A and B are shown apart, each in its own frame.
Chain A
Amino acid sequence: MELLTPGSGLIFWQAVVFLGLFLLLSKLAWKPILSSLKERETSIQAALDSAEKAKEEMATLKAGNEKLLKESREERDKILREAREAANRIHEEAQVAAKKNADRLIDEAKAVINSEKQAAMKDVRELVAKFSLEVAEKVIKKNLAADKAQQDLAQGFVKEIKLN
């Protein structure tokens, strides 16, 4: 039972010492400790917040960059496509022009050839006619000597005419 009866002396000392400890600690220990803990907490929170903000800014920056990159890529594609189209067009036009030129040249050549041919034919005909006349002259000169042969010839001509 002695164990369960609080001694008044110890109660007195406990109250005095505990109150003293409380006052001293509150003033000298808890106040500075808690305030610096709070300060550190807020500074850490601020640092975290600013880091978060920086991250967000980075993200927007990155998104902007990507947009720019995408736009420039599109621009490049467009330019390339147009260039390719222009090249094709020029190529085709060149082909068409070349073909036309070639056709014209061929036509001209053909015309020249034709006219040359005509001229040549005319020359050949004249030559043939001249030769024929010469041959005929010679033949006539010889054959006029014999009547029989003259008649045969005349009759041969007649037959030929008839057949024609």
Chain B
Amino acid sequence: MKILPRNALNTIKKGIFLLSLATFLLAFSGAFGQEEHSASTTEHSAPSGEEPSISEVIIEHVMDNHVWHFFNGGTWYLPVIVHTPERGLEIFSSRNFYNEHHALVEYNGYKLEHNTIYLEGKPVRDFSITKNVAMLFLNAALILWVMLAVSRAYRANPGKAPSGLQSFIEPVILFVKDEVVKPNIGPRYERYLPYLLTLFFFILFGNLLGLLPGAANLTGNIAVTVTLAVFTFLITNFSGNSSYWKHIFWTPGVPLPLRVIILPVEIIGVFTKPFSLMIRLFAAITAGHIVMLSLISLTFIFHSYMVGIGSSIFVLFISLIELLVAGIQAYVFTLFTSLYIGLAVEEHHGEEAH
């Protein structure tokens, strides 16, 4: 139905391979997660009701929170920023929501329940610096620090061979530029390169930082992935040329009766592309975290050192896979974004031949 350049086809093939790999991992990890999930609930709900169930702990770990809990006793109470039509903007520490027994209490009429702040029963507009927002700042700061150091290195010795951090980052930049962006977008790739590089490093650093113990699951949060997907959606559609829109609304070479079907499909396609980006990154990273947490939780479910040793070995291997997934997901998100942009800016030669 569409003529794609040869390299784009190759990239699609490559992408499909990576995608299937990711889905395999995902399916595998998803199955694991669910199994442990159900096991933990049945195991745990029976003997005692006082401790929170393992599945709740796991879900809490991969979710956003108003406090950053590193370890027992090591909690960072993050600032809460709320806005209500009645009271306007208010900023206070999330410590106020907890009493000395670490139980939730009401503060100043605000009530924290399941990570949502309510005022008189209504949810408020919450711009709090949550765990993930703090992680987001950290991630952005780290990327800025690294990239500014690298760019300084380029200015310090122009035209010389790279050294140090520069030689570590340069191949990655060149890979994104020459292997991902250039073949998919085509001759006008340079306009989109800054966005795609930022995207790639944001996801890569976010994925890798998220693997650290105590870190927040930033790139596995759907709010983060939805924002990135929306950026990609906006860039893709704003840079779409006439043939891109013509292809959507009046697909060439399609008989009139079929247009009734093709038109909605094409329009849905515009939205499913970024939607798939959103789901893929979210699911891959969150599933990885759930698998690791589930394997660790096995120790506490069985109360056994042997299981602890066994699951630790498993966690080690899953961690290695997660390192791979961190790279793959950053690559896949960037690859598909550049592919979508490439489809939007592609000049359709020989369209009249249809």
Contacts and interface: CB of A to CB of B under 8 A. Distances in A.
A143 to B, nearest CB: 146
Contacts of B114: 2
21 contacts: A2-B59, A6-B221, A6-B222, A8-B125, A10-B223, A11-B223, A13-B127, A14-B224, A14-B228, A18-B202, A20-B140, A21-B198, A22-B198, A25-B197, A25-B198, A33-B147, A37-B173, A37-B177, A39-B158, A40-B159, A43-B159
Interface stretch (B11-19, B128-136, B265-273, B331-339): B128-136
Contact of A14 (B128, B143, B227): B227
A11 B224 CA distance: 6
Given A6-B221, A6-B222, A21-B143, 13 more contacts: A3-B62, A7-B115, A12-B127, A13-B127, A18-B202, A25-B194, A26-B198, A29-B150, A29-B151, A30-B147, A32-B155, A37-B170, A40-B159
Interface SS majority for chain A: helix
A33 B158 contact: no
Contacts of B59: 2-3
Contacts, number: 118
Contacts of A43: 159
B226 interface: yes
Interface of A: 2-15, 17-18, 20-22, 24-26, 28-34, 36-37, 39-40, 43
Chain B: interface secondary structure? helix
B137 interface: yes
B296 interface: no
B221 A10 contact: yes
B144 interface: yes
A48 to B, nearest CB: 15
Interface string B216-236: 000001111011100100000
A29 B147 contact: yes
A22 B194 contact: yes
B154 interface: yes
Contacts of B150: 29, 33
Contacts of B173: 33-34, 37
A13 B223 CA distance: 10
Given A25-B198, A32-B151, A37-B170, A7 B223 contact: yes
Contact of A9 (B127, B143, B197): B127
